[in-house]
Structures are given as C-alpha cells and as structure tokens.
C-alpha cells in the first residue's frame, strides 16, 4: 500500500492527460495516488496531479466518513461567517459514530481524533473547500503528554479558534455492560449533555477513577485550556487583531464530542454536545 503524506499540494492544470505526458512529477504523483509506487522514505511529499484528481480524492475521503461535500461546505460557511465551530465538529461526530465500531477504534487517543478531524474535514484538499480560507495547525504545547491543541484560523475574518482536545475511551466509562460496541451504543442513546457529564470514570482508570466527567474536566482540562488560551503564542494572535474563541473538545467513548467554551478564566455555563 502506498503511504499518504501530510503535504497535499495540488498541481493545477486544465488537462490531466497533458500533465501526465509532459510532467515527470505529475506522472509520479499520479502513480503514487493510484497505488502504483511507494517511497523508500517517509519524507517524500504526495502531490495530487491536478484539480480533477484533487476533487476525486477530496470527495473519496469525505465519503469514507459519511460526509457530503455540500454538508462540509455549509459547515465551513457557518464557521467563517458566524464564527460557530459546532457544525463542522458535529459532522466529525456523526461520522465517528458510524465509523468507530472495532476494538482499535475505541482505543483512539486525542491525537487520533484531532488528526482525523483535521485531514478529513478541515484540511480536505477538495478545491471548493480550500477556497473558503480556513487554516489549521495542530500543536503539542511544551511537549507535554496528554496535550493536543488545534488552532483553526479564518484570516479574512480575523477569527481564531483554540481547541484543547481530550479523549475519554469507552473502556474507562461506567456505562452499560457487554462489549465496547454494546456499551458505546448505550452511550450514543444519551442526548442530554448533563447526563454525559454526570457519567463516572471507571475503577480501571489509574488517575481519574470515581470522578464524574464534569469533575475530571474541572480538575484538569479546564486549567490546560486556560493556560494555552492565555499563552504568549495566543497573545500574538490577539495583538494581530484576531478574536479568540477557546473551546474544550472532549471525545466521549467515540460516540459524543463535548464542546465547552472558555469564558475568561473558567468554562462557561453552556456545555453542549456537537450533535445537539
């Protein structure tokens, strides 16, 4: 299987056949895209040969996660025009509910969900999505374990969203019985964010056993989000005139994405589920 690389630059052209006939780089990129070649080093970039291929590749990625191009375009417009992050994360949550069914899926960490969200939706290479002007960066502040942050910027609107990602796997949640999938299905039926926050973390967790999800958030993730939102890095964005929205983003059992905005030094009074 060919490796897929983070560099997804598009070689623009009006005619695919002409590209492949005249450009060695385009031909090699096309062969890699189709699975005909692999690189001996992980440092080589993948280039999509032209806009037609970019459209096909972008749509294929969306389809695998049960998202339509029209839905994503609409969510991008809400993000850009209204400054609302919920709809685009809701699309990720919907795809996650349908896609995460195996044992390995339920063990995903925050970086797995964060990267999946980024490359499936926010950084999807479909040309129509790239025109919107949404940019993303994933960072790990100070190299600390358990810290995954995503910056989503909209330069044209001077908006910046600071997302602190957390993942609480179904194995560590006291809910239902049976296999991880059966327990996750019980979790999926809960629609009230307050009920999700009142769920307890199981005794098999070494650090959070017995805490409710709300108590765990207040004892750690809230402080981490505040720390990053008040960091020198984010201050630079403020100095450049950006409005900042800081959101704690918690994936709960691969069935819900809990969103909770920071208001000053503390989380506000309105936690919500991305699919509400």
The β-bridge partners of 161 are 152, 245
The C-alpha atoms of residue 23 and residue 16 are separated, in whole angstroms, by 10
User: What is the residue-level pLDDT of the chain in tens, covering all 276 positions?
Assistant: 333 333 444 444 444 445 555 666 666 666 665 555 555 555 555 555 555 555 665 566 566 666 777 888 888 889 989 999 999 999 999 889 988 989 999 999 999 998 888 877 777 656 666 666 788 787 665 555 555 688 999 998 999 999 999 999 999 999 989 999 999 999 999 999 999 999 999 999 999 999 999 999 999 999 999 999 999 999 999 999 999 999 999 999 999 999 999 999 999 999 999 976
The C-alpha atoms of residue 249 and residue 89 are separated, in whole angstroms, by 9
Cβ neighbours for 14, distance < 8 A, ≥ 6 positions apart: none
H helices within the chain, ranges in order? 16-22, 24-34, 51-64, 69-77, 86-99, 110-117, 127-130, 180-188, 193-197, 213-219, 221-229, 232-239
Both tokens of 161, joined, read 């969203």
């Amino acid at each position: 299987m060919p490796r897929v690389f983070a560099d997804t630059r598009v070689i623009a052209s009006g005619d695919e056949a002409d590209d492949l006939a005249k450009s060695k780089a385009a031909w090699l990129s096309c062969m890699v895209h189709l699975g005909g070649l692999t690189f001996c080093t992980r440092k080589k970039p993948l280039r999509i040969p032209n806009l037609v291929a970019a459209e096909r590749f972008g749509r294929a990625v969306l389809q695998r996660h049960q998202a339509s191009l029209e839905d994503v375009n609409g969510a991008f417009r809400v993000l850009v025009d209204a400054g609302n992050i919920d709809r685009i994360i809701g699309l990720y949550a919907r795809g996650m509910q349908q896609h995460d069914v195996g044992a390995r899926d339920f063990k995903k960490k925050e970086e797995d969900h964060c990267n999946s969200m980024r490359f499936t939706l926010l950084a999807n290479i479909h040309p129509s999505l790239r025109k919107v002007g949404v940019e993303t960066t994933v960072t790990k502040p100070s190299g600390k374990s358990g810290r995954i942050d995503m910056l989503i910027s909209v330069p044209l609107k001077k908006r910046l969203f600071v997302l602190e990602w957390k993942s609480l796997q179904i194995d560590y949640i006291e809910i239902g019985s049976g296999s991880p999938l059966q327990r996750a299905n019980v979790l999926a039926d809960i629609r009230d964010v307050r009920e999700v926050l009142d769920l307890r973390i199981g005794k098999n967790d070494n650090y959070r056993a017995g805490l409710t999800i709300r108590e765990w958030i207040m004892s750690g993730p809230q402080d981490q989000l505040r720390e990053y939102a008040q960091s020198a890095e984010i201050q630079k964005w403020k100095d450049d005139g950006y409005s900042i929205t800081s959101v704690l983003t918690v994936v709960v059992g691969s069935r819900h994405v809990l969103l909770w905005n920071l208001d000053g030094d503390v989380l506000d009074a309105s936690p919500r589920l991305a699919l509400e």
